[in-house]
Amino acid sequence: MLMHGLLLDGATRHPDRDCFHWVDRNRGLTYGEAAELMGDFAGLLHELGVGDRSWYPRDIEEALCAIATIRDAALVGVPGDNGLRPVAAVMLSGVGPLDAAACKTHLSNTTSYDIDCLKIVVVKEMPMTPTGKIAKAELTQMLGSGTDVQN
């Protein structure tokens, strides 16, 4: 339910000039500058700002999951030297090895994004939330630190 632009349940955010305020159910949490938050919460966003373009993770994830060798995929933004870098974490289905070049060709043919800056990495397993969804914030940290990534 919306009231004055705020959701009344769960964690919400609303812009206030250059700041984002994250408010819990008891209206108890507030964080500072938007620049700080974008790094901390990049994996939680429903779109990634890559250069001057918005990337919608679901587009990339669905296109990757259509490839026989990929069982599951998640796209996150990992902080880099020039802002967020899109990184697709994939779990293999066991049908065969991953051909990253073929994956990028498939993505170029099925999506409208500039796939050249996309990095595809194989992970043994995706971090999951208690409700069975991919924990993208945890995945972003894992990919940023290089932990549990197969090359």
The tens digit of pLDDT for each residue in 34-52 reads 444 444 444 444 678 887 8
Question: In terms of Cα–Cα distance, which of 69, 65, 46 is closest to 107?
Answer: 65
Which domains are seen in the chain, by residue range? Answer: 1-32 (no CATH), 42-150 (3.30.300.30)
* 3 pLDDT more than 90: no
The conformation of residue 115, written as its DSSP 8-state character, comes to G
The CA-based dihedral angle spanning residues 121, 96, 61, 13, taken in that order and rounded to the nearest 10 degrees: -40
* 124 pLDDT more than 80: yes
Lowest-pLDDT range of 1-5, 87-91, 103-107, 138-142: 1-5
Q: φ, ψ for residue 86 (rounded to 5)?
A: -75, 130
Query: What is the C-alpha to C-alpha distance for residues 37 and 67, in angstroms, rounded to an integer?
Result: 34
Query: What is the C-alpha to C-alpha distance for residues 143 and 24, in angstroms, rounded to an integer?
Result: 27
Enter the pTM of the model: 0.66
Lowest-pLDDT range of 53-67, 76-90, 105-119: 76-90
